[in-house]
Structures are given as structure tokens and as C-alpha cells.
Amino acid sequence: MRGWLAALLSIIALPAAACPEGQTLFLGCDMERGDKALRVCRSETHVSYRFGTRMGVPDLALTRPIGAGADIVPWPGIGRTIWEAVRLRNKDVIYEVYAGFDKFDAVDAGKPDSRFGGVVVLQDGKGEVAHLKCRAGTVDYTY
């Protein structure tokens, strides 16, 4: 009975973790501490942010239009690390989600997975109030 219930719950939870229609994954990962997960999706016009437990209702879910609550920070094209970020505003708080990888390690089969990511939480007037990093080995970053 438990196996059947777990399978049903995992099927029910899939749509909650999937990207909204018309968006593709930017970053998905489990956080270093606790049982929280991060999933950020984007399209040409919108960015969606989901943070919370893998199953169930997220602690925070946002969707913002690019240029009006969401901004894309592209890789500047230099350096050993390829990285990008998206910023989402929620009132006086900015969630800056970043992801990347070491481009030299990525082409060397003998090197461990070098993908990384996380979210920096910034509050107007206070600066950085939290920095949560993705757990190594769980990062799904679409460059």
C-alpha cells in the first residue's frame, strides 16, 4: 500500500515542480541545508521562481515579466566560469538566482560535475539577508 501511495504522490507532485507552459528550466536544485528545493524557469517574456519542499505547496512562488519585476543578467563572455543570473522583485525583496559551471572542467570527463547555483536574497535598505546555495550534484542548469 505504501509503495502505491508514494507513486501516486510523486505523480501528483510532478506538475507543481514542472515549468509553467511556454517556459524552460533555468535552474533546478536541492538546497545545501534542509529539505528545500529551488526551481526557476523562464521564457522570452517571463521568469517563474519556486522555492520550498519538493512535494506540496511551495513556500514562495513568483512569476514576473522580464523588465517589470524580473531581469536577466547574461554571462559577460569572459573568464573560465560560464554563469548567468535572474533577478525577481517581490515588494522590497530581490531574489537573485545564479547558476553556472566551469567550462574547462565541463569538457574533461575525468573532472567532477562543476555546475553550481543558488539564490541571494536582498532587501531594500538592508542588503543581503540570505545566501542559499545548491547542493553539489543536484544542480540542473540549462545554459
Kindly list the domain boundaries of the chain, sorted by start residue: 2-141
User: What pLDDT does 27 receive?
Assistant: 98
User: What pLDDT does 5 receive?
Assistant: 35
Written as one string, the DSSP assignment of the chain is -HHHHHHHHHHHHHHHHSPPTT-EEEEEEEBSSTTEEEEEEE-SSEEEEEEEESSSS-SEEEEEEBTTTEEEE---S-SSEEEEEEEEEETTEEEEEEEEEEHHHHT-TTSPP--EEEEEEEETTTEEEEEEEBPTT--EE--
User: What pLDDT does 17 receive?
Assistant: 57
User: What pLDDT does 143 receive?
Assistant: 78
Low-confidence ranges of the chain (pLDDT < 70): 1-17
User: What pLDDT does 33 receive?
Assistant: 86
